[in-house]
Structure 1
Amino acid sequence: MPFQDRAEAGKKLAVALMKYKEQNPVILALPRGGVPVAAEVAAALEAPLDLILVRKIGVPGHAELAMGAVVDGGAPITVRNEDIIEMAGVSEAEFAAARDRELAEVERRRQRYIKKPRVEIADQVTIVIDDGIATGATMRAALQATRLRMPKMLILAVPVGPTDTLAAMRAEADVVISVEDYESFGAIGAYYRDFRQVSDREVVAFLA
């Protein structure tokens, strides 16, 4: 396994991102798992840390299989994975219901996590971080929403992901950085010795 835990993954990712320190970047983490990784990067780069609230829309009965994702904001952005929707035979009503459940969770997290003014990213080098990437649906939504906020440069940075998905993300980000990538990829947790769930309390503590 390449990583003991998310903190170690963050330290390794910070090394790969150190060349951006002098550009005073902003760090955006996907909660919850991306926050401990991003906290290490923010500390190493002496950069502000904020969240981008995005939720995977799972196939009914197979929640881990992403048929899309939704991101918070005045006009929430929904990204659809049409291949998965068609393969799973999901109706528009089923998709809408699943999307609305995830939007409700985004709002719950906003109320729970966001206690101070959001970090401004317009005209800033902005680094979006998660603990890994699999299908890319969630991260694609996060990057599209971040792009709308007009960063000077948009960087995707993750400890690990599938080679082909990372390559596809170059259509959304100006730069894509990963510590590890694999042609044959399973679950993200398989690359961590300790991949326990991060709690709401821990997210709040990291942001504080």
Structure 2
Amino acid sequence: MFRDRADAGAQLLARLDRFRGEDAVVLGLPRGGVPVAAEVARGLGLPLDVIVVRKLGLPHEPEVAMGAIGEGGARLVDAELLGQAGVSIAQLSAVERRERATLERRVRLLRRGADPILLEGRTAIVVDDGLATGSTAEVACRVARTLGARRVVLAVPVGPTDAAARVPSADEVVCVETPASFHAVGQRYEDFSPTSDEEVAALLEAARRRTGRTA
């Protein structure tokens, strides 16, 4: 059980000490993953950034992902699903344009003008406040790899017992708690209050000051 996301980050940090001094970047999934990631990055002395991803939902079933996009032109498409669902190139392009615009707005809002930290040849430690279905974490790990990460580690405070199987694109999954009766991430927190965009931006700015990066 975790008091809040800061406590969860502190407990997760203890499982990640071997990455201290490594050429690595801690990437928080907005919004709730960023306070957890901030504790990890500060404790390890590593830079902190966000990894912003958007699902590309089927035109007539938006909840079903036919792919995903990330920054730097990162793009993942399930060609087999596209064929099965009869999605045309024009339909895919329309969905992607809409989600790309949303992604870019989110990036501007959270980064406030700062450049993303390059991942090429580095270890990407992707952090969220918990793992449920694993779909968002899987996409984030795949995008980190597309952006050049040499090794991708998913780190979460809590998840199901089969957490690693749910995120096959991660080289390693680190999870503090894997309760047998796990149903929802929020059940393992005493305080699971929503994280605001302003809090995310402030945490990123504090990390930039700590590591000498400026917007």
> TM-score of the superposition, structure 1-length normalised?
0.80
Question: What residue in structure 2 maps to residue 201 of structure 1?
Answer: 198
Of the candidates 150, 153, 156, which is equivalent to residue 152 of structure 1? 150
Return the alpha-carbon distance in structure 1 between the equivalents of residues 149 and 128 of structure 2. 18
Identity %: 42
Task: Tell me the CA shift for residue 156 of structure 1.
Answer: 0.8
Question: What residue in structure 2 maps to residue 127 of structure 1?
Answer: 125
Task: Tell me the CA shift for residue 154 of structure 1.
Answer: 1.3
Task: Tell me the CA shift for residue 113 of structure 1.
Answer: 1.4
Where does structure 1 differ by over 6 angstroms across 4 or more consecutive aligned residues? 57-60, 95-100
**Unpaired stretches in structure 2, ≥5 consecutive residues:** 206-215
Tell me: CA distance 1:180–1:101, structure 2 relative to 1, closer, same or farther (3 Å). farther
RMSD over aligned CA atoms reads 2.9
Question: What residue in structure 2 maps to residue 142 of structure 1?
Answer: 140
Return the alpha-carbon distance in structure 2 between the equivalents of residues 181 and 173 of structure 1. 17
* Secondary structure in 1 matching 2:192: coil
Q: Residue 37 of structure 1 aligns to which amino acid in structure 2?
A: V
1:53-109 Cα distance to aligned partner (Å, 9 max, x none): 02456899x99xx533633234353566x99xx9xxx9959x968776654432221
Question: What residue in structure 2 maps to residue 28 of structure 1?
Answer: 27
Return the alpha-carbon distance in structure 2 between the equivalents of residues 101 and 189 of structure 1. 30
Correspondence 1:168-187 to 2 at 5 A: 168-169=166-167, 171-187=168-184
* Secondary structure in 2 matching 1:70: strand
Task: Tell me the CA shift for residue 143 of structure 1.
Answer: 0.6
Return the alpha-carbon distance in structure 2 between the equivalents of residues 186 and 31 of structure 1. 21
- Tell me which moved more, 104-113 or 136-145: 104-113
Return the alpha-carbon distance in structure 2 between the equivalents of residues 185 and 145 of structure 1. 27
Question: What residue in structure 2 maps to residue 51 of structure 1?
Answer: 50
Task: Tell me the CA shift for residue 22 of structure 1.
Answer: 2.5
- Tell me which moved more, 69-78 or 95-104: 95-104
Task: Tell me the CA shift for residue 184 of structure 1.
Answer: 3.8
Return the alpha-carbon distance in structure 2 between the equivalents of residues 45 and 110 of structure 1. 25
1:111 matched to 2:90? The reply is no
Question: What residue in structure 1 maps to residue 12 of structure 2?
Answer: 13
Return the alpha-carbon distance in structure 2 between the equivalents of residues 57 and 49 of structure 1. 26
Return the alpha-carbon distance in structure 2 between the equivalents of residues 76 and 125 of structure 1. 17
Q: Residue 141 of structure 2 aligns to which amino acid in structure 1?
A: L
Task: Tell me the CA shift for residue 49 of structure 1.
Answer: 0.4
Give the count of matched residue pairs: 196
Are the counterparts in 2 of residues 127 and 155 from structure 1 also a CA contact under 8 Å? yes
Return the alpha-carbon distance in structure 2 between the equivalents of residues 186 and 22 of structure 1. 35
* Secondary structure in 2 matching 1:71: strand
1:191 matched to 2:188? The reply is yes
